Homo-oligomer: A and B are copies of this chain.
């Protein structure tokens, strides 16, 4: 039961940007050194986050990345989901077809709910909440 390293790093990178001036662009080199995330890996992570609209990137001289939105408007779920390739706690929930075994389906109903509960937390927590700390569960209600 763990997140991919990419998701873990992704959060760190977004948190890094969120705590800094939004006027600037930050090169991967700079972020990589500050966060100790391997640069080439970080590059791939940002490519994903750019596609999902959380990060803006700029090519060429003076280029780099920046948050596409305010940290107040980015949820943890938005960072994690695109970086977690395989979702679904158990095989049943990952497969297309329905499982033939009824006993497993009892379990999968449970896992489905538990997983939903998990993602509700991620959906209702913003990056800003994390920075402010402790208040995660007092949101979006």
A residues neighboring B (CB under 8 Å): 1-3, 5, 8, 11-12, 15-16, 19, 35-36, 76, 84, 86-92, 94, 101, 103-104, 106-107, 109-111, 113-114, 117-118, 121-122, 125, 130-131, 133-134, 136-137
Contact = CB atoms under 8 A, between A and B. Distances in A.
B106 A133 contact: yes
B130 A84 contact: no
Contacts of A104: 11-12, 15, 35
Contacts of A109: 130, 133-134
B1 A87 contact: yes
18 contacts: A1-B86, A1-B89, A2-B88, A3-B89, A3-B90, A12-B101, A12-B103, A15-B107, A16-B103, A35-B101, A110-B125, A113-B136, A113-B137, A114-B118, A114-B121, A117-B118, A117-B121, A118-B118
